[in-house]
Amino acid sequence: MAFLLRQKEINMLFSIFSTYYDKSIFKEFTDQSILEQNYDNYEYLPIDNSDNRYLSAGHAYNDKAFDANGEYLIFMHQDVKLYSQAWLATLAELVNSYQFGIAGCSGVSDSGQRLGFIKDRKTIWGRPFCTPQDAQTVDESIMIIPKNVFVSLRGFDPTLGWNTYGADFSLKCLAQKMKVMVFPLFLWHNSPSVLRGVEKVLWQLQQRYGQYVHTTSGSTRSKSLIINSLKSYFPPALKKYLVLLLSRMGMEKEGNVLSFKLRKAKKVLMLDVLPEGCEANRLIIPEKIKLEGLSNNPVWRDLSIDLIIVQEMRELEAYLPSICSTLSSAATLVPNGLKPYFMQYNDIQIVPFSVNYSLLRGRGV
Residues 43 and 152 in one domain: yes
- 36 and 178 belong to one structural domain: yes
Domain boundary among 163, 193, 223: 193
Distance separating alpha carbons of residues 258 and 336, to the nearest angstrom: 14
If you average pLDDT over residues 10-23, what whole number do you get?
Answer: 84
Assigned domain for 247 exists: no
Residue 314 counted as domain residue:
yes
- Tell me the one-letter amino acid at 121: R
In angstroms, the Cα distances linking 5 to 8, 101, 134 are 9, 11, 19
Give the CA count within 13 Å in the CB-facing half-sphere of 238. Answer: 6
Average model confidence (pLDDT) for the chain? 81
Domain range for 354? 258-362
The β-bridge relationship of strands 348-352 and 357-362 is: antiparallel
Q: How many domains does the chain have?
A: 2
The pLDDT tens digits of the residues spanning 320-348 come to 887 888 887 788 888 888 898 888 888 88
Do 180 and 301 share a domain, yes or no? Answer: no
For CA atoms 239, 240, 242, 243, give the dihedral sign. Answer: positive
Could you tell me the CA-to-CA distances from 308 to 138, 253, 280 in Å, in that order? 27, 24, 11
Count of residues for the chain?
365
Question: Which residues lie across from 133 on neighbouring strands?
Answer: 182
Residue 23 placed within a domain: yes
Last residue of a domain, one of 193, 209, 241: 193
The pLDDT of residue 119 is above 90: no
Are 51 and 164 part of one and the same domain? yes
pLDDT at 103: 98
Proportion of the chain in helix, strand, coil states, percent, rounded to 5 = 35, 25, 40
Same domain? For 16 and 150 the reply is yes
* 73 & 156 share domain: yes
Judgement on whether residues 22 and 158 belong to the same structural domain of the protein: yes
Per the domain annotation, does 224 fall within a domain?
A: no
147 and 27 housed in the same domain: yes
Coil, helix or strand at residue 283: helix
Residue 207 counted as domain residue: no
Please check whether residues 33 and 178 belong to one and the same domain.
Answer: yes
CA–CA dist 197, 143 (Å, integer): 22
Tens digits of per-residue pLDDT, 253-280?
565 666 667 766 777 888 888 877 777 6
**Domain stops at, among 193, 222, 244:** 193
Decide: 296 and 95 in contact? Cβ < 8 Å.
no
- Phi, psi values for residue 206, rounded to 5°: -60, -40
The domain that contains 154 carries what CATH number? 3.90.550.10
Is residue 201 in a domain?
Answer: no
Same domain, 47 and 174: yes
308 pLDDT above the threshold of 70: yes
In a domain, 221, yes or no: no
Our measurement of the distance from residue 113's CA atom to the centroid of its chain's CA atoms, rounded to an integer in Å, reads 13
Domain-embedded: residue 204: no
Domain identity same for 87 and 169: yes
Q: Render pLDDT for 63-114 as a digit per residue (tens, 0 to 9).
A: 999 999 999 999 999 999 998 889 999 999 999 999 999 999 999 999 888 8
Q: What is the pLDDT of residue 300?
A: 42
Percentage of the chain lying above the pLDDT 90 cut: 40
Strand 114-120 with 123-126, pairing? antiparallel
What's the number of CA atoms in the CB half-sphere (13 Å) around residue 98? Answer: 24
